[in-house]
Structure 1
Amino acid sequence: MLIFELLDGDWLGFSQVRQQVLDFLLANEHKCVALVSHFQKKDTKILYILDERNVIWGVLSVSESGQILHCLESETVLGIVEAYFQKFRPQKIFSIIGEKKYTDAIAKIFQKLYGTVNKSATEYSLMEYNALLAEEAALAEKPDNKKRHFLNSCEIFDCKNSDFDEMLPIQKAYELEEVVIDRESFNEQNCRILLRRNIQSGIVFGVRYNNRIIAKASINAEGENCIQLGGIYTDISFRNKGIATYLVRTLSNRFKKNKKDVVLFVKNSNSTAINVYTNCGYTPFGDYKIIYY
């Protein structure tokens, strides 16, 4: 096996190679939506692993910020991955993201080669939306008139630039509770930049109640056929009222009607969120892990 960097150009066979890499990614898209997104945008270094029969066994994305995304099909490729990184050390290693067993394996490679030790590691369950299961779950749900009355007073909306100031507090709360390793590492300027960029991209959604935004969600990544839903958060004062279920059901159904498969990942330790997503028609299909340095 050999590992190559996918370089843009007009050389003979380039289009064929790029299509071959894309075909591999699309066959595995449900577990690597973000990697497909970076491949489409051409904003990261793309590596692909090829055997002597011209069959692809894995693809990795390495960004300038040190984010490494991977989609590997066999542990037999790990030797070539190690050989590559031994020769071409990333300028920075910020995170490793993807299927659990390969995230762990790549982390061991970096520790072996460079003595790199991670700051945090979180395990997740990958879940996929099924419209039929969502309908069955909704029909089986016991009526709750109090929740129904409350949700009838809520509005789900696509965030616009004019919503930025109102959305910022709940975005900050989300990052402090779900994203940052510790509160001291929270960077409000980065939070503001990311939120404004995502709103301008049309990938942020909110729930408004009594002229106040009380919940949010976003598209974490969009590939060719899949959307990865994420950033789902409800203000602590409005939890246990069915808001997250209402928001996830609505968005998942919308994306499915747009001919997109919908996936998400949820912390294995977050049983409440797992129950919400299960009640929204999601089923687990894989193990996912993110390691930060």
Structure 2
Amino acid sequence: MPIDPARLETIRHASDIGRWELIRCRPDARLAPYVSDYQGYREWGSATVRRVEFALPIVPVIINFGPAWSLGDGHKPGRMMRHGSFVAGMYSTYAISENTGASHCLQFNLTPIGAREIFGIPMHELSERIVDFSDVMGRAGAELETQIAEAVDWQTRFDILERFLIGRVADAQSVSGAVRHAWTRLSDTGGMIPVAALADELQWSRKHLASKFRQDIGLAPKTIARLLRFRRVVDRQTTDLSSRWAEVALDAGYFDQAHLIRDFRQFAGMTPVEFRRSRLADGSGVIDNVPRG
């Protein structure tokens, strides 16, 4: 059945920076362990827009209807590659996206468990990489792109996507219960459970836990824990602009503000103060204003 309009949220923005429209959709409850959200995005303008994409514990997928994107990452910030529709594996550093200001795309964000089951490949093959969507999904992905591109509105596009994802999950080989438990524990605690305690719960060595995470999640448990803590900070700063950084750091499980600054530099390519200055209005990203090599 069609997507219920009550599941949609529309945000529109117009300023000197540009004009854009963002439509968010809450996924079907059956997809909760696998998909965090869907987003439709349209941006009108002629100026080049360069954004920083923070490292987060998700696997974003872009189905592109507009001009190709120039994409790079913090490992080699001066190297930009062109992509249409793509999958971004989880990163241990930030990424850079650049477009002409005339963007039009659908994005859906997968959990690591969701990406493992929907793509059906070991997640270390995607880690620290941006890969064309067709290379990951093959013919099924090409057919999905065509159907979504030909749809007349966002409700129809989200409905097509959702039916596709539900079918993929139903046919997928499930991630082991132990890895699923470990991911859930890390996620539910915001990355605050020690990796050693997690290994003890599973009666695994830390080496075996790291190996299984590389296969089914994509990054080491310690890195995932840091990303989850970092995400708590970013999410809080999105909703509470008056909060003090020292307080935010402690609440998210950081020992002190210095550790928070270290993670900001690695995962965002900027300091917390630069983050506050660089955010665009209405949740449309973070402008890259920091000089890079």
Larger strand share, 1 or 2: 1
| Short-chain TM bin | under 0.3
Q: Given the two structures, how large is their TM-score scaled by the length of structure 2?
A: 0.24
Q: From the CA coordinates, give the structure whose radius of gyration is larger.
A: 1
Greater relative contact order, per chain length (Cα 8 Å cut-off, separation 6+)? 1
